[in-house]
Structure 1
Amino acid sequence: MKHLFFLLFTFSVLAQSPKEKIQVTDLLKIKTAGKPIVSPKGNQFLYTVTSIVDDPDKKNEFVYQTHLYLGSLQTGESRALTSGKNSISSPAWSPDGTKIAFTRDMGAKSQVYVLDLAGGEPQAMTNLPFAVSNPVWSASGQEIYFQSSFTMKEFLVDSVYNKKGLVPSWTLEKPMLSGVAKKLKANPNGNLDEVRAYLAQNEADKKAKVINRLNFQEESTTTSDISIPAYFKTNLTGKAVLLNNPFSRWSDVEIASNGIYAVIPADSLAHPDKVLDSYIGFGSKVIYQKVGYRMSNLTLSPSEKWLAFQEAKSTGVQNAVLQIISVANPSQIYKVPIDRVITQVKWSSDETKLYFTAQNQGGAPLYVYDVATKLVKQMTDNNTGILGFDLTKAGFVYAKTGIENPSEIYQQSADSVRTFTSLNTGWLASKNIVRPIKHTFTNAKGQKVDYWVMKPTGFEVGKKYPVVLEIHGGPSAMWGTGEASMWHEFQYYAAKGMGVVYANPRGSGGYGSDFLAANVKDWGAGPTADVMKALDLTIAEGWADTTQLAVTGGSYAGYLVSWIVGHTNRFKVACAQRGVYELSTFMGEGNAWRLVPNYFGGYPWEKATKSILDRESPYTYVQNIKTPLLIFHGENDLRTGVIQSEMLYKSLKVLGREVEYVRHPGGTHELTRSGNNRQRIDQMLRTYEFFSRYLKIQ
C-alpha cells in the first residue's frame, strides 16, 4: 500500500512539474521544413529539413545543414534520402517519379545530382567550374535544365561557352571608352593599349577595383563586375549545353515543351543597373510588356496555355499584382483580385484554380482563385503562416509556422489535418510557450493597426513587469503569429521576465497598397505614433511598469528606434540594430538606396527632397537622445552600411551619452536571421545583458 501511494505521489509531482522556460541556446534546436513537392503519382512527397548542427571542421561553431526527406501520403511515414555535411537544395521529381534531381553544396560550387529511388547513391550530373541551381526535368525525363551565372568578365574570356565571342549590347559606362578591351600584352612601359592591358591585369589580380557601374554594392562586398544569368540543359551523361546568351539577362525562367519563357530587361542597350522595366518573352517574341512596370514569378499552367505572373510598378511603393495571361492570345489577361504580397503560386491540374500564399494581417494564409468565377477564397487562417505547399489528390500538404511550433509539415484534406512531422514537437513539449494576444486599434489616418501582446513567462496577476517594444524592419515587413523569424527572440525575452509588444504600423506589408504606402515621406512620426499607441494600450492593461520600458529593432526598425529616442525619454534603454540613421548618407552607402527615391520622391541634391530627408533622418535629432543606447552592425553589411551606425555612435560619444557599439566581424544584414549562429546568440545575449543594466529582469 505504501509502495502504491509512493508511485501515485511521484506520478502526481511529475505531472505537475512546471515547464521549462525558453533558453537562448534553444535557437540551435529549431528545425525548419522546406516546401513539400508531391510526386507525379501523388502518393509521396519530398521536403527538406534545415537543422543547426555542430560544425565538423570548427570547434564551438555551428552550421546550417539541409537534407532531403521522402514522405508517404498514405502511411504518414518519412525517411531521409541524404545525409552528411553537404547540404542539398531545390529537389525536383522526374516525370515518371522514379528519380530526384537536386543541387548539393560542394564547397562554394553546388552541382546537380540525381538520386534513383530504386537504390544507390546520388550521382553527379554536372561537374562545372561554377555553382549551379534550380534543376528542372524535361517532359521526357531525359534532360535536366538548370541555372547558373557568370560574371561579365568571366564570360568574355570563357573558351567553352563563349566560343562565338559574345559581348554585351550595353555600354560599360567607362568615361571616354567604349566596347570591350582588346586582348593585348600587358606592359606598364608600353603603348597606351598595353598600359591598359597592364591595368586590366592588375584588376584581375585584385590589386585594384575600378567601379563604373551604379549598383556596385552587393550584400557583403563591392564589385566592379556584373553577374549575368546563364541557363543550361544537360542529358544524363552530364554534358551541359548553354541555352541563352547570358548578356540577355533572363530571369524567372519557365521551361515549356517548345521553348522557354523568361522575364527580360526592357532595354537591351542601356546598362542593366539602370533598366528597371521588364517584359515577358518567349524566344524573340514579346508575350507581355507594359511601360513603367516590371514582371516576376512566372508560373506556367499544366497545359501550357496560361501563364500566371506578377506585375509591379518599377518605382514607388505598392504591391505587385497577380495576373493570368493566355500565351496564345496575350490580349486575354485576368487580374486576380487581391492586394497583398504574394509568394508561392500553383495551378490545379485541371487549370480551374490558382492557389497561392500571401501575407495577411500577421499571417501567411493559403488562398484559391477560381478561374471561372474570378473570386478569391482564403483557405487557412491568419494566425499561422504557410511557408510552402503543394496539392494532393485529397487536399494539400504544407510547411507551416505558428506560435505553438515554428515549423512542421501538415497534411490537410477536406475534413482533417494531420501533423506529418515532429521536427520540433519533442523539445517543445517541455517548454513553456507564451501565446501572444492580438489586438487592433484605429490610427490617426483611420487605418486599422494590429498589434500583439505577450505577457512574461510565469505572469502573476498584481505584479508589474518590464516591457520591451519590438519593431519590425522593411519598412514593408510584417510581423504576427504567422511569421517565423522572431519566434525565438520573442519567447526568450518573455522567459527573461519581460512583456513583449509588437505591431504592424503604417507602411507594413499584409494590409494592402494604401497601408503599405502610408509612410511615404513619413518614415518617422507616423509609424512612431502607431507603435507607441500599441505600447500605451498595453500599459493600460495595468501590469506594465512604466519606469521599465525598452525598445529594440533592426534595419528600418533600427531607424525607428533612434527616431523614437530622439523624440521621447520614456524608455529606460534602447537597442538599434543595423539601422539607417542619416538618409542622405544611406543614398550612397547602402545597396537598398532606391528606398530613398521610392519613399521620398527624389534625391539628396534636390532641395525639396533634401529638406524631407533631413526632417526624416534620426541623425538630425541626435543631440536629443538621452536614452542609453546599444548599437549593432555587421561589419560586412552593405544593405544599410556601417557608416550609419558609426555616425550615430561617434556623435553620441561626443555628446557624452551612454552608448555602446557592437560590430560583428563578417556579419551581413541577415545576421540575426540566417547568419553565423554564435553571432546570432551573441547579439541576443548582449541585448539582454545591456537591458539588464537598466531594467529589473531575470
Structure 2
Amino acid sequence: MKKIKNKVLIMLLLSATVIGHSQEKKEPIKVTDILKIKTVGDVELTKDGKIAVFTVKSIIKNAENPLDFDYDTQLWLAKTAENTAPRQLTFGKEGSSSPVFSPDGKQIAFTRSVKGKSQLFLLQVDEGGEPVQLTENKYGAANPKWSPDGKQLLFTAGLLINEIVKDSVINPGKKLPVWNFEKPGFADNQNLKINKTKADPDGNLEAIRAYLENNEKDKKAKVIDKLQFQTETTLSSELRFTHIYTIDAKPGSKENAITKGFYSYTNPYFISNTKIAFNGNINEQRHPDRVLESRIYTINTDGTNVTELLGAENIVFQLLAVSPSGKQLAYQESIINNLSVPVLKIFNLDRPLEKSKVIDYDRNNNNVRFSKDEKQLYFTSSSNGGYVLVSASLNTLKVETLTSVDQGITDYDINNGIVAFAKTDVKNPSELYVSDLKLKNPKLISDFNANWLKNKEISFPEKGTFTNEKGLEVEYWIVKPIHFEQGKKYPLLTEIHGGPASMFGPGDVSMWLEYQFFAAQGYGIVYSNPRGSSGYGEKFLRSNINDWGTGPASDVITALDKTIAQGWADTGRLFITGGSYAGYLTTWIISHDQRFKAASSQRGVYDFSTFFGEANVWRMIPRYFGGYPWEEQTRAILERESPINYVQNINIPFLIIHGDNDHRTGVTQGEMLYKSLKVLGKPVEYVRQPGASHEITRSGDNRQRIDQLLRTFEFFERFNQK
C-alpha cells in the first residue's frame, strides 16, 4: 500500500513538473503584437529632476470599425526617485503631446487638438483636475517653450500665404512679398491681391479670375506655380510660413505675434525673458522654395531689434539649443544640399565676435541639451546600429559616449544630475528609465511593454563585421529562427534598410516587430549597414556617391555570404526585401544576382528619370549624382544606376508594394517596374495600398501595416519549399 502511495505521489510530482514546464513555455511573436507596442517619447524633467512627464503612444481600436486601429498619445507622469508606477495625466480622443514643465515645476504646458487645430493647454501638476485651454489662435499653436521666469510661453503657428496677405497683425499694411511668387505674367505679385470682384465665368477678366479662384477653393483645380509642389501625400499649391507668438501663462490671456511678413521663423528658444533666438531667412529676395540656407537671429519679445547672429551663402546654420543662462547657443553647420555630417558648434552670445567652439564628432547629433551648470553638452546620435547618448565637455571639447550601440535612446532629458530617457533594445521596444549621469545602472520605471513581452520568445541578433574593397568596415547582424537547432536548414531573409543615409541595428526600433515575426515563422534574417549608411562617419556616408547599386549591393551580398557560411541557411530558400532606397537595392540585386527564390520591394525607386519629376525628395539627384537629368554626364549615370534598365534580368517571383499617396518616391516608380515585368512575362504581383504614404510601415494605418507585412510573408511562403 505504501509503495502504491509513493508511486501516486511521484506521478503527481511529475505531472506538476510537466504542467509547470508547459506554463513556462514562451509564445512566438505574432503579427498582431504590433498593436500592443506602446512607445515612450517627449521626455521632460523638472529642474530638480524629481518628476518626469512624457508621452505614451498606444494603438487602440477604432470606435466605428473593430477591424481598424487608431493611434492615441497621452501624457504620463513619473517620480524619478520613487518605486511607484507612472500615472496617466490626460485622456480623451484628441490626444496630448509636446509637454514642457514650467521653471518651478508646478505646471505643464502641452498641445491638444481643438476643432482640427493644435492649441496650448495648462495642467497643474499637484492640484490635478482638468487641463485648461490657454490659446485659441485661429492658426493653431505648437512647440511651446517657457520663459525663464515662467510668466510667458512662446509657440509657433503656420499660416498660408493668402492668410498673411489678409492678416493686419502679421502683415501690417497688407503688403505683398518682396520676392517673386513666380506666377507667369505677374512680376509684381498682383495675383496675391484680394480680388473683390464677383465671380462670373462670362464676365470681365477680373470676374473670370474670381471664378477660377473659387474653382481652386472648391478643389476643382490645382494651380501649381511653386518649385516644391509635392508634399508627402499630395500635390499642393499651398505656401505656408511659420511665425512665432508669445502669451502670458494665465488662462484668458491674448497671444502676441512677434514676427511679421512672408518669411518663416523656426526653432525658437528663449534666451532671456525678453529675447528669443530662432532660425530664418529674413529680407530674402528669392522665392522660399529656392532658399536652402538657414540663418540664426535674435528678436526681442516685443518684436523689435531683429539681429542676425550667424549666416552665410550656401550654408545651413541650424539652431539646436540655448544654455540655461542664455549665454551660449549650440548649433550645427553644413553646406546646402551636400551629403555630409553637420559640424556641431557652440556660439558665445556674450562675445559674438569670438570664433565658435567646434565639437569634433564624426556622427550626426539630435536632441541637444546643455547641462544645468553649462559645463557639458548632451545629445543623441545614430552610431553603429544604435542611437547613443553622448556628452561633450564644453571646456576640453572631449566627447564621451554614455550608452551602448546595442540600444536606442529615443528621447531623454537631464536635470540636477538625473537622466530620464526612453530606450529601445531587442528585448523591449520602448520603456522609460532613470539614471545618474554615469548611466551605468539605469532603473526601469515603466512596464508599458514588459508585461505582454514576458511570455514571448525573442531572438537576439549576432553581430559580424567585414572589410569591403574600399577598406570600409561593414557591420551586419544575424537573427536566427526561434527554437533554432544545429544541423537543420532554414530559409534566410535578407533585409535592407532605406535612406540610403539611415541604418539598421539592435538599437533601431522600426524593424523590431518584423524581425521577430519572421524569426517566429522559422526564418533566419540577415541585415547590414552597407556603404552610404549613416552612423559610421562622413567617409562611409559619402561612399555611395554615384554608386547606389553595385557597391552597396556588394556589401549586402557579402553579409549574406558570411551568414550562409555558418552552414544552417538553405541556399535554395533565400529571400530578399526592403522599402524605399532598400526597394531600389532589392530590385538592383535581383537584376544582377540570380540566387534568390523570391523578392519583395516596397515604395521603391526604380527609374531616376521619373523620380526627379515625381518625388518630393528630388534634390537627392544632384546631391548623390552631381547634376540633373538633362545634363549629359548626369543622364548617363542615372541610366546606369536605374534598376528599370536591367528589368529583363529579373527572373524570380517578385512582389511590388506601393502606397497610393506616396509622393516621396512617387507611384509611377512601382507602376513602371510592374508593367515592364508584366510585358516581359515575368512572375510579378503588384499591390497598391489606398491612402498610404511613404511612412506606412512606421506611422501609417495600422491595418495596412499588418497587411504589408503579411502580404510579404504570404508571398514568400508560396515559394518556401524545401
Check whether TM > 0.5: yes
Does residue 1:259 correspond to 2:267, yes or no? Answer: no
Matched ranges for 1:410-421 at <5 A: 410-413=433-436, 414=438, 416-421=441-446
The structure 2 residue matched to 1:372, chosen from 361, 370, 395, is 395
Letter in 2 for 1:213: K
The structure 1 segments of at least 4 consecutive aligned residues displaced by more than 6 Å after TM superposition are: none
Cα deviation for residue 266 of structure 1 reads 6.9
Report if aligned partners of 2:319, 2:329 keep a CA contact under 8 Å in 1: no
Does residue 1:6 correspond to 2:12, yes or no? Answer: yes
Cα deviation for residue 190 of structure 1 reads 3.3
Cα deviation for residue 150 of structure 1 reads 1.0
Q: Which runs of 5+ in 2 are unaligned?
A: 1-5, 300-305
The structure 2 residue matched to 1:325, chosen from 343, 347, 357, is 347
Cα deviation for residue 303 of structure 1 reads 0.7
Cα 1:560/1:107, change in 2 over 3 Å? farther
Report if aligned partners of 2:653, 2:682 keep a CA contact under 8 Å in 1: yes
- Secondary structure at 2:98 match in 1: strand
Does residue 1:543 correspond to 2:557, yes or no? Answer: no
The structure 1 residue matched to 2:219, chosen from 185, 193, 206, is 206
Give, in whole Å, the separation in 2 of the partners of 1:347 and 1:511. 25
Q: Deviations along 1:663-684, whole A, 9 cap, x unmatched?
A: 1100000001100000000000
Q: Which residue matches 1:227? A: 240
Report if aligned partners of 1:308, 1:323 keep a CA contact under 8 Å in 2: yes
Does residue 1:387 correspond to 2:413, yes or no? Answer: no
Q: Which residue matches 1:483? A: 508
Cα deviation for residue 162 of structure 1 reads 4.3
Give, in whole Å, the separation in 2 of the partners of 1:76 and 1:19. 28
Q: Which residue matches 1:67? A: 74
Give, in whole Å, the separation in 2 of the partners of 1:131 and 1:562. 43
The structure 1 residue matched to 2:371, chosen from 348, 351, 354, is 348
Q: Deviations along 1:581-627, whole A, 9 cap, x unmatched?
A: 00011000000101001000000000000000000000011111111
- Secondary structure at 2:634 match in 1: helix
- Secondary structure at 2:262 match in 1: helix
Q: Which range is displaced more, 292-301 or 581-590? A: 292-301
The structure 2 residue matched to 1:524, chosen from 527, 540, 549, is 549
Does residue 1:652 correspond to 2:683, yes or no? Answer: no
Report if aligned partners of 1:572, 1:628 keep a CA contact under 8 Å in 2: yes
Does residue 1:127 correspond to 2:149, yes or no? Answer: no
Give, in whole Å, the separation in 2 of the partners of 1:35 and 1:208. 40
Give, in whole Å, the separation in 2 of the partners of 1:266 and 1:520. 33
Give, in whole Å, the separation in 1 of the partners of 2:122 and 2:486. 59
Letter in 2 for 1:299: A
Give, in whole Å, the separation in 2 of the partners of 1:342 and 1:81. 31
Cα 1:49/1:72, change in 2 over 3 Å? same
Q: Which residue matches 2:303? A: none
Give, in whole Å, the separation in 2 of the partners of 1:500 and 1:464. 13
Q: Which residue matches 2:315? A: 293
Cα 1:485/1:207, change in 2 over 3 Å? same
Letter in 1 for 2:613: G
Give, in whole Å, the separation in 2 of the partners of 1:107 and 1:27. 30
Q: Which residue matches 2:205? A: 192
Q: Which range is displaced more, 415-424 or 595-604? A: 415-424
Does residue 1:469 correspond to 2:494, yes or no? Answer: yes
Give, in whole Å, the separation in 1 of the partners of 2:416 and 2:217. 55
Q: Which residue matches 1:241? A: 256
Q: Deviations along 1:461-499, whole A, 9 cap, x unmatched?
A: 101110000000000011100110000000001111110
Cα 1:652/1:578, change in 2 over 3 Å? same
Percent identical: 45
Q: Which residue matches 1:338? A: 361
When normalised by structure 2's length, the TM-score is 0.94
Cα deviation for residue 649 of structure 1 reads 0.3
Cα deviation for residue 3 of structure 1 reads 6.2
Cα 1:38/1:232, change in 2 over 3 Å? same
The structure 2 residue matched to 1:574, chosen from 577, 599, 608, is 599
Q: Which residue matches 1:606? A: 631
Give, in whole Å, the separation in 1 of the partners of 2:319 and 2:653. 45
- Secondary structure at 1:200 match in 2: helix
Q: Which range is displaced more, 163-172 or 253-262? A: 163-172
Give, in whole Å, the separation in 2 of the partners of 1:59 and 1:238. 42
Does residue 1:153 correspond to 2:168, yes or no? Answer: no
Does residue 1:171 correspond to 2:180, yes or no? Answer: yes
The structure 1 residue matched to 2:101, chosen from 68, 93, 107, is 93
Q: Which residue matches 1:398? A: 421
Cα deviation for residue 278 of structure 1 reads 1.7
Report if aligned partners of 1:631, 1:660 keep a CA contact under 8 Å in 2: yes
Q: Which range is displaced more, 173-182 or 362-371? A: 173-182
Give, in whole Å, the separation in 2 of the partners of 1:383 and 1:692. 31
Does residue 1:275 correspond to 2:291, yes or no? Answer: yes
Give, in whole Å, the separation in 1 of the partners of 2:88 and 2:229. 41
Give, in whole Å, the separation in 2 of the partners of 1:173 and 1:288. 29
The structure 2 residue matched to 1:52, chosen from 54, 59, 66, is 59
Give, in whole Å, the separation in 2 of the partners of 1:617 and 1:466. 29
- Secondary structure at 1:344 match in 2: strand
Does residue 1:303 correspond to 2:325, yes or no? Answer: yes
Cα deviation for residue 97 of structure 1 reads 1.1
